[in-house]
Every structure is written in structure tokens, then in C-alpha cells.
Structure 1
Amino acid sequence: MKIRIGRRFWILLTAGIVVFSVFVIGRNALHAVKIKRQINGLERQYDFYVEKIAQDSTLLERLRYDDYLEEYAREHYHMQRRNEHVYILEE
């Protein structure tokens, strides 16, 4: 008894494999795009923090000197000496 497999079966099987392959490849492509976006976002954060670290390192180096420390405290924290009036001018 020989089982005869028709031409339609092979066409449907091929179509099924193609549809399945497109579905799997499509999901992987969407996943790859999502991961690429995350990588780009993380790279932007990395660049931001590298620049921020450089700025903070420069600030720390400058704060080691008493003259700049006093200037920084006056400008950023509005500190003043006794019997001294400080006027803040906004531009």
C-alpha cells in the first residue's frame, strides 16, 4: 500500500514553512531593533556621565583651594560673612 502525497500537500507545507520562517525572522528583527534602541540610549547615558564625571573632577580639583571654595560657597549657597550684605543681581 503506497501512500500518495499530492502536489497540494507540498505546496501547503512549503507555504507553512515560509510563513513560519517570516514570523520568526520578523520577531527577531523587531527584537533586534528594540535592543539597538536600548543600546543607543545607554551609550547616550554613558557619554553624559563621562562628561559629568570630568566636570565634577575639575570642580573637586578647584575646590581644594580656599579662594575658590569661598567663591563657590558664596555663588551657589548664598553664604556671607557677618555684618555683610549680599545683593543678588539676576540678568
Structure 2
Amino acid sequence: MLSYFKNIFVIIIIVFSIWMLFFDSNSLLIHNELNREIETLEDEKDYYRKEIKKDNKIINELKKEEGLEKFAREEYYMKRENEDIYIIEYQDSLKVEDNE
């Protein structure tokens, strides 16, 4: 066993391997950290692509006259002339402050 460590080439290979695995700027630890960051960024990319598709769908609906009217009625409570609007709120949708 000691004869292996007496060989200079084996010692150099062991030192080089340890150096490359832990201390080098391209070490295994840094490489794993960068891979995790890439996975995180890929997940964010997928999320934002889904959000873009959803927003494009909403924009296409708002480009139509019916979609724009529906949005104005639901979000801003706009109405036509001679038309009454009744807002119905259910008990579970009301914001209630508890002052106890």
C-alpha cells in the first residue's frame, strides 16, 4: 500500500483530483451550484411563458368589443344609459375587520 504513495505520479494524480473537485474555479461544488441556478431559471422561464400566454389571451379578448364591454362592466361597474346596476356581495366575499 505504501508503495503506491511512494510513486510520485500517484501522489500528483491524487492532489490534482482533490484540487479539481474542491478548490478550482470550475470545481464540482461550483458546478452543482450553477446547475441548481440553471434549473431555477428554467422554472422561472416556464412560469413567465405561461403568464405571457394568459396575458395574450386576455388582450385578444379585450380587442373585441364584447370583451372590452364585459371588462368595463365587471371591473369598473360602468353601465349604459337608462340601466341600473346591482352589486351582490355574498357574506364570505366581504372583508370584515375584527376589532376585539
Q: Identify the TM-score tier after normalising by the shorter chain.
A: 0.5 to 0.7
Unaligned runs of 5+ in 2: 94-100
Q: How do 1:47-66 residues align onto structure 2 when only pairs under 5 Å count? A: 47-66=46-65
Residues 64 and 38 of structure 1, relative CA distance in 2, 3 Å threshold = same
Count of residue pairs the alignment pairs up: 83
Among all aligned residue pairs of Structure 1 and Structure 2, give the percentage whose two residues are the same amino acid: 25
- Verify the 8 A CA contact 1:73 1:79 in the aligned structure 2: yes
1:24 to 20, 42, 45: 20
- RMSD of Structure 2 on Structure 1 (CA): 3.0
- TM-score in terms of structure 1 length: 0.66
CA distance in 1, matches of 2:38, 2:68: 39
Code of the residue aligned with 2:20 in structure 1: it is: V
TM-score by length of 2: 0.61
Q: Which of 54, 74, 78 lines up with 1:80 in the alignment?
A: 78
- State the 1:68 CA deviation: 1.2
Bigger radius of gyration among the two:
1
Structure 1: tracts of 5 or more residues without a match: 1-6
1:80: how far off? 2.4
| Separation in 1, partners of 2:31, 2:72 | 49
Amino acid at match of 2:14: V
